[in-house]
Copies of this chain bind each other. A is one copy, B any other.
């Protein structure tokens, strides 16, 4: 059962600029001759002062702006940004926002010089993407880790699809993380960020033991931090201490540090993506729906790590093994509920009949062997979702 640590290659070239006032660093991070495509969401950055500080730092650089990147960034929206960027001959992409704006920026950066159909990039999961424009990011929502990794998830509402892609070319060259810029986020977005980051850790940790002592303890470190500072942040949104730890924990949850040399799962995410594509449920909420049910279903193959998780994350050390596992899963569900994220399909007014449809869609995409053992078949996905009703 206990295997060796897996061989790995690790390279994360993103420069992180963390702390109060760091937006001013844009001026030294971006070449003066850069032609910048500023990408943003619905406009909250104009209300909280972030936009003004960004524009000030950009100085006399040539900037074109594209607002309107939505949550779960849409391919058709992003193609409009690509068109603008091509016309303006931009040389840098500057996302200012959360993970959706960041992910969208990655597709835009990859698509601007791409000769074929840009939908290929997520649809064919192009790890051999030849090139992308450089990205510099200003993060305003701790959640996805996109500020310091080479992954993005793109939605296409026209066909109800939501697909990830990964490329070394789309790591941001730099990312600015000023915790104060996140103070004005609404509670729902804070909670979603906490829930998303927590699940990122679980996907890389709650598999089977691989003799990765440091990685396991790092993963547990991030989870304990999220459990500690998540509720504090929700209770007091301008608490810099809680917020700065939340921001850094969310980055560390998916910047590769905890994931080197270990098996990874990601089934919860793949199933969750279908729920978002079908029902427009917030990403983090889909994870909260799927995760407890998936852990219950996979309690056999995940037994050893579930016990370690119970012990080291939830301090559950007494009682028979099956009880500790039950309680750890209940704690996981309780954590999501405690930050205001419901964990049942019915909470989102979605019927159990979606289970068969999600299974069918995963099958049609060839995603028939999900999870660290490849043993989560469409049939199991259906059971997982029925249990989550």
Given A217-B224, A229-B213, A249-B214, A241 and B5 touching (CB < 8 A)? yes
A314 within 8 A of B: no
A22 within 8 A of B: yes
A281 within 8 A of B: no
A15's closest neighbor in chain B, by CB? B11
- A22 neighbours in B (Cβ, 8 Å): 7
- A19 neighbours in B (Cβ, 8 Å): 5-8, 261
B16 touches A11 (CB 8 A): yes
- State in angstroms the CA–CA spacing of A211 and B18 once bound together: 14
Q: Which of A1-24 contact B (CB under 8 A)?
A: 2, 4-22
A348 within 8 A of B: no
- State in angstroms the CA–CA spacing of A217 and B245 once bound together: 12
Give A308 Cβ to nearest chain B Cβ, in Å.
13
A261's closest neighbor in chain B, by CB? B18
Residue in A5, A11, A14, A241 whose Cβ sees the most chain B Cβ within 10 Å? A5
A240 touches B18 (CB 8 A): no
A248 within 8 A of B: yes
A12's closest neighbor in chain B, by CB? B12
- A9 neighbours in B (Cβ, 8 Å): 15-18
- State in angstroms the CA–CA spacing of A19 and B9 once bound together: 9
B245 touches A214 (CB 8 A): yes
Copies per complex of this chain: 2
A6's closest neighbor in chain B, by CB? B19
- A138 neighbours in B (Cβ, 8 Å): none
Residue in A7, A22, A249, A252 whose Cβ sees the most chain B Cβ within 10 Å? A7
- A229 neighbours in B (Cβ, 8 Å): 213
- State in angstroms the CA–CA spacing of A370 and B266 once bound together: 47
- State in angstroms the CA–CA spacing of A281 and B253 once bound together: 41
Number of interface residues of A (CB under 8 A): 44
A271 within 8 A of B: no
- State in angstroms the CA–CA spacing of A211 and B246 once bound together: 11
Give A238 Cβ to nearest chain B Cβ, in Å.
13
- State in angstroms the CA–CA spacing of A354 and B19 once bound together: 43
- State in angstroms the CA–CA spacing of A379 and B10 once bound together: 45
A335 within 8 A of B: no
- State in angstroms the CA–CA spacing of A15 and B20 once bound together: 29
A128 within 8 A of B: no
Residue in A10, A11, A16, A214 whose Cβ sees the most chain B Cβ within 10 Å? A214
Given A214-B225, A248-B261, A257-B257, A18 and B7 touching (CB < 8 A)? yes
- A222 neighbours in B (Cβ, 8 Å): 214, 217
- State in angstroms the CA–CA spacing of A16 and B261 once bound together: 11
Q: Which of A254-277 contact B (CB under 8 A)?
A: 257, 260-261
Give A11 Cβ to nearest chain B Cβ, in Å.
4
A8 touches B18 (CB 8 A): yes
A219's closest neighbor in chain B, by CB? B221
A13 touches B13 (CB 8 A): yes
Ordered nearest first, which 6 A-B pairs have the shortest CB separation? Answer: A7-B19, A217-B221, A11-B15, A213-B245, A10-B16, A211-B241
List, sorted by A's number, 23 A–B pairs whose CB atoms are closer than 8 Å: A4-B240, A4-B244, A5-B244, A5-B248, A7-B19, A8-B19, A9-B16, A9-B17, A9-B18, A12-B12, A18-B260, A18-B261, A212-B245, A213-B229, A213-B245, A214-B221, A214-B225, A215-B248, A217-B217, A217-B220, A244-B261, A248-B260, A257-B257
Q: Which residues of A does B touch, CB under 8 Å?
A: 2, 4-22, 211-215, 217-218, 220-222, 224-225, 228-229, 240-241, 244-245, 248-249, 252, 257, 260-261
Beyond A5-B248, A9-B18, 9 extra complex contacts between A and B, CB < 8 Å: A2-B241, A5-B245, A7-B21, A8-B16, A8-B18, A9-B16, A12-B12, A215-B248, A221-B221
